[in-house]
Copies of this chain bind each other. A is one copy, B any other.
Amino acid sequence: MTELRFVPASEFEKVLAAKIDPIKKAEIFSTLCRINVLYMIARAGSGHIGTSFSSIDIVSWLFLNELNLPGDGVAEKDADVYFSSKGHDVPAKYSVLIAKGLLSFDKIHTLRRLGGLPGHPDISIPFMHSNTGSLGMGISKARGMALTRRLRKQKGRFFVLTGDGELQEGQFWESLQPTSNRGMSEITVIIDHNKVQSDCLVSKTSDLGDLEAKLKAFGWHVSRIDGHDFKQLQQTFEALESVKDRPKIVIADTIKGKGVSFMEHVVMGENDLYRFHSGAPSAADYERGLSELTERATMLAKALGLGAIKLESAPPAEPKNFDGYERLVGAYSRALVKEAESTPELVALDADLVLDTGLIPFKEKFPERFFECGIAEQDMVSQAGGMALEGALPVVHSFACFLSDRPNEQIFNNATELTKIIYVGSLAGLLPSGPGHSHQCVRDISALGGVPHMALVEPSCEKEVEMITRYLVKTHRESSYLRLVSIPVKIPFTLPEDYRVEFGKGVVLCDGADAAIISYGPIMLSEAYKAAQDLKQRGIALRVINLPWLNHVDTDWLFESVKDCPIVITLDNHFIRGGQGEMVLSEIARLHMPKLRKALKLGITEIPKCGQNDEVLKAHGLDSRSLAQSVTRVYEEITLIAAQ
């Protein structure tokens, strides 16, 4: 793509000022907002188009006509609240807020950039009332807000948007009955029922059954409408005002990708993967999508007598070239199929992330041994527990952030049964940093590290992925958690030819006697390795050690690996608290190492920042340059002391 185009503030001002039928106004408004959603995501290089397009008519209607907002003569404490529980549709809300002037217009250029608009909602941004992005929490949060308002005799209504795949989460159902028991008519939930979840059709992933009957049985008032029909939106919200005895839910039938013909899910085959859930559009898709949306906007503007819609231009996202990069999830995908061939008891479970966890080849090769569980991590993990009790070897997949936390107690429960289960958490670590802290998993080593009889391990490159996958399936007798970085990484080191996987032991990637750094995984080890090359120029010899085991270390190996070094540094792609470094240093304290002068823990110390990968790595002080500086500082400090 040569350039990107967006609708400027002036065009929205024109539309908003026009004295036209509110339904017509909403139509053109949401069409223009779609152009800006497409722009924001194309510029960011990632984002969720499909769900932004399915929900944007609803969001537009609410902000144009329904919500009592501060500034409309309502005090902030009594204002209505709208937020999305699924959260990944946030480009739609940003676009609407910007169009209405509720968010400064130049934010439009900053989606998923450091200091800009986060990839999932964060309350640091105006009108973002809750941090969401992990599914199922929305109604609970809204009830908490509403109960506090009641206690303080404040007013305000709460509108919560949910996904439909999201309804597979237990917390959604857990939150329904307490809300109806309290007769909370100030809460209205709108289900963006676009029929497609992350991978494919909801009905093919884990069908929702008779949704209306279910919701009514929980004591909610249920309406069902076409979520793209503004007339129905108008009438429904109007009618709901008279329901005063119970909370309300609107099932809004929508189309994922609505507004751009080839992005609309209705054109896909019923077993297809949906192509526009996340990620950036290709240049061709962008151009074609923009052209369709512009054509429609022009037509609507013309019919309304608003004149031509003028777009402004912006430079495109920088193209990325991943030649020579390693992809660990791809390597895992191949390794799993290979091990499964000779391990008939191996079954794979997935929570609606078949694409991101590399399970498609497994699913195709072993359809009977593949179990799609939907977005239901607790159920998936306990199901795996039952399978293991009957002699299967379950391999359980999701994003690390969800797999480590959501079914945390279920994983512990399985562990107490002493069965063998392999958990595989992809998207682990600080990067990619575009999605924001709901998806940046830097707490899983802590959250799972204490589970008894479970080894946590993270491979550093495609070759090690293959070796460790084999080890976990074939050699290791207990449960394990395989932590996988998902971004492609250009890896500057190679594992020694004679490297073998041994429990609790690691391997030196480059030698040096001035300081040793112990880390794991492709990102941190690559940065540390690059730092070592830099430091060599400055006369500091840094030993880089790969210890893939995250909650176990072989004490003898550790002693031999660092006993001659005056400086030992640990480096976590994780919060320092509860990471590998704490575990390693606590063992170092137990060892008698007369040469050790200084130990240092590096890693993440604050809530992960959202932005582009390189800028976020640097902002957390974990890029190779920052690492080299940290090592130099300690080196100079002890050299100075020694000289005194």
**Residues of A bordering B, CB below 8 Å:** 122-123, 129-132, 134, 136-137, 140-149, 151-152, 168-175, 177-178, 180-181, 206-210, 213-214, 216-219, 347, 368-369, 371, 373-374, 376, 378-392, 394, 401-402, 405-406, 408-410, 412-413, 415-418, 437-438, 442-443, 445-447, 449-453, 551, 568, 574-575, 577-579, 581-586, 588-590, 592, 597-601, 606-607
Contact = CB atoms under 8 A, between A and B. Distances in A.
Contacts of A577: 449-450, 551, 583
A218 B206 CA distance: 12
A427 to B, nearest CB: 14
A178 B384 CA distance: 14
Nearest to A375: B174
**Max chain B CB contacts within 10 Å: which of A129, A382, A437, A551?**
A382
Contacts of A413: 131-132, 134, 137, 438
**Max chain B CB contacts within 10 Å: which of A347, A368, A599, A601?**
A599
Given A177-B207, A178-B206, A181-B206, A405 B412 contact: yes
B172 A170 contact: yes
Contacts of A180: 209
Contact of A585 (B137, B446, B585): B585
B217 A210 contact: yes
A214 to B, nearest CB: 4
A575 B447 CA distance: 13
Contact of A385 (B144, B392, B410, B582): B144
Given A134-B413, A213-B213, A551-B577, 4 more contacts: A137-B410, A140-B382, A170-B172, A590-B600
29 contacts: A123-B389, A130-B385, A130-B386, A134-B409, A140-B381, A140-B410, A142-B386, A144-B382, A144-B383, A144-B389, A147-B386, A147-B387, A148-B391, A148-B392, A171-B382, A173-B174, A174-B376, A214-B218, A416-B438, A442-B450, A445-B450, A446-B446, A450-B574, A453-B607, A582-B583, A583-B586, A585-B585, A589-B599, A592-B598
B169 A170 contact: yes
B416 A383 contact: no
* Number of copies of this kind of chain in the complex: 2
A208 B173 CA distance: 12
A372 to B, nearest CB: 9
A379 B175 contact: yes
A171 B392 contact: no
A140 B383 contact: yes
A405 B598 CA distance: 36
Contacts of A446: 446-447, 449-450, 578
A142 B386 CA distance: 6
A89 B510 CA distance: 58
A210 to B, nearest CB: 6
Contacts of A606: 452
Contact of A174 (B145, B168, B412): B168
A592 B567 CA distance: 12
A589 B592 contact: no
A144 to B, nearest CB: 2
A32 B615 CA distance: 71
A103 B218 CA distance: 42
Contact of A148 (B131, B147, B373, B386): B386
A216 B216 CA distance: 12
A405 B405 CA distance: 8
A408 B405 contact: yes
A132 B413 CA distance: 8
A575 B599 CA distance: 24
Given A144-B385, A178-B379, A368-B151, A443 B412 contact: yes
B389 A130 contact: yes
A582 B586 contact: yes
Contact of A171 (B148, B210, B379, B412): B379
A218 B216 CA distance: 12
Contacts of A152: 390-391
Contact of A374 (B178, B374, B387, B579): B178
A566 to B, nearest CB: 11
**Max chain B CB contacts within 10 Å: which of A142, A210, A589?**
A589
A217 B222 CA distance: 14
A449 B589 contact: no
Contacts of A129: 389
Contacts of A417: 123, 130-131
Contacts of A416: 122, 131, 437-438, 607
Contacts of A590: 585, 598-601
